[in-house]
Amino acid sequence: MKALVLGSGIDALVTAHTLARAGHEVTVLGKRDGEPSPHTGWIARRVIANLDLERHGLSVEWPDPWVSAPLPGGARLALWRDVARSADEIRKLSARDAGQWPKFCERMQAIAGVLEDLYGAPPPDPLTHTPGGLIDLARDALRLRKLGRQSMDDFLRLLPMSIADLLDAWFESDVLKGLLGAQAVMHLAQGPRSGGTAFNFLHHHVGSPAGVFRQARSNVRDVLSALPGIQRLEHEAARIEVQDGGVRGVVLDGGERLAASLVVCAGDPRRTLLDLCDPGCFDPELLRALRNIRSRGVAAEVTLTLARDPGFTVLALAPTLDHLERAYDDSKYGRASSDPYIEARHEAIKEGAHRAHVHVQYVPYALRDGTWDDARRDELAKLVIAKIDQAAPGFAASVLGHSVLTPADLEHRRGYPQGQPYHAQIALDQMLWMRPVPQLARYRTSIEGLYLCGPAMHPGIPGATGANAASVILRDLKKSK
């Protein structure tokens, strides 16, 4: 069968290559933007194995230490992949917290392991009556039982909690709680005292080693782009053609028509179904649900060119949970925070050339007062440089240049709706069989032959989403024969 996959990101490529390896003729439509990929997170083992990614050069980077934070007097707290080494660092702040750290890491990894199992397959349907669906539900229930009573209780209790409540129950150090709390609100339009942020913390821990609470980076997109077996066209889709309830092809931005009875889109579901398709093809309830998907972006990307090594691998400026909550309050009312959460990652480009990629949160998509112009972007860059310089004296003097992408820029440049890289916020009511809305949770649309495989779909982790979507598509194609 001839298939068209719309998008050039990781999920689009995983879906495309999986379909191609099953014998289908696949063309990928999408311009290669050439920009570095965001955190890729967990790469499912079955994706690596099925597409033979290691043989094609896949490398996964776990910075060590995975994060550090400034302490009074010029010292720093560093958290390492080695749990015992991190505990020794934490002992500088609190002997009690150092004693708690190994137990906390073990419990969090056990709970994240449940999510990893759930994320490795299409989402369960709690209302299913089919034999296969009931088997899937029974399998998921069995996974929970295998955790044991303590871990099962933890899993069910933690999901709706705020990260502040979770961390307050375990630790006393404000610096440690600030560092961990920042991971729980990454790309989330919420503060650490909001319900459900503990779930976000666990979500981003999936697939990570015990004691590492941040996502990995990898070259998976480059590896997927270089794999043979698919055709690439650097054109965007202007319209998806539908006739008699089934997809018939795609009209490109230049007017050319490509016929296909299978179209898979990795873009924002709202744009796919409301702009690329005729909205009249869909039930009004679905359209209303689509328009209510929460996808507020709250983070800017600042890239700094440096004259030298800044002296850190990953530096996070989130001194307390209260600091994060106050920063969120600013963005909630349309103001860029004057004291945002900042996480800077150093990258050595080549000998003598360095760069810092800086995640800046909380920065609203739309400003209450004015718009994002060059002056506002420069103002944000200067703030970021000054804040990092306070934590790493001499940093400002090493900055040779900067570029800034606000949430509005990320929408324009990368297609992130309102600047949200996950297309739909990672939140309990937008996860599993509700991601992004219940009517679309199984990757299918009501148009025969039209599927979704982008970040807004379950589980919202690049690669895993594409693999799950491909498995559903292949299963449907097999049934239709």
CA dist., res. 169 & res. 155, Å (int): 15
Same domain assignment for residues 311 and 395: yes
Tell me which residue range forms the domain holding 359: 299-417
Which pLDDT score, from 0 to 100, does residue 36 have?
47
Which pLDDT score, from 0 to 100, does residue 144 have?
61
CA dist., res. 221 & res. 223, Å (int): 5
Question: Does 73 fall in a domain?
Answer: no
Listing DSSP states for 377-408 in one string gives HHHHHHHHHHHHHHHSTTTGGGEEEEEEE-HH
Question: Does 53 fall in a domain?
Answer: yes
Residue (of 435, 375, 363) closest to 406 by Cα position: 363
- What is the pLDDT averaged over residues 353-357? 94
Question: Does 214 fall in a domain?
Answer: no
Question: Does 385 fall in a domain?
Answer: yes
- Is the CA virtual torsion 91, 95, 96, 99 positive or negative? positive
The CATH number covering residue 250 comes to: 3.50.50.60
Same domain assignment for residues 413 and 424: no
Same domain assignment for residues 38 and 147: no
Domain boundary (417, 448, 464) is at: 417
pLDDT of 35 > 70? The answer is: no
Under 8 Å between Cβ of 447 and 245: yes
Whole-model pTM above 0.85?
yes
**Segment 166-222, tens digit of pLDDT:** 999 999 999 999 999 999 999 999 999 999 999 999 999 999 999 999 888 888 999
What does DSSP say about strands 246-252 and 237-243: parallel, antiparallel, or unpaired? antiparallel
Under 8 Å between Cβ of 47 and 69: no
Between residues 130 and 75, the one the model is more confident about = 75
Same domain assignment for residues 193 and 286: no
Same domain assignment for residues 286 and 432: yes
Question: Does 76 fall in a domain?
Answer: no
Same domain assignment for residues 307 and 392: yes
Q: Based on the structure, what is the number of domains in the chain?
A: 3
pLDDT band at 38 (very low <50, low <70, confident <90, very high): very low
Same domain assignment for residues 282 and 389: no
Beta-carbon contacts of 280 under 8 Å, excluding residues fewer than 6 positions away, are none
Question: Does 67 fall in a domain?
Answer: no
Same domain assignment for residues 314 and 276: no
- 390: tokens are 């306070």
Same domain assignment for residues 203 and 119: yes
**Segment 430-466, tens digit of pLDDT:** 999 999 999 999 999 999 999 999 999 999 998 999 9
Under 8 Å between Cβ of 198 and 159: yes
DSSP reduced 3-state for 310: coil
Question: Does 33 fall in a domain?
Answer: yes
Question: Does 368 fall in a domain?
Answer: yes
Same domain assignment for residues 330 and 401: yes
Same domain assignment for residues 225 and 284: yes
Same domain assignment for residues 244 and 355: no
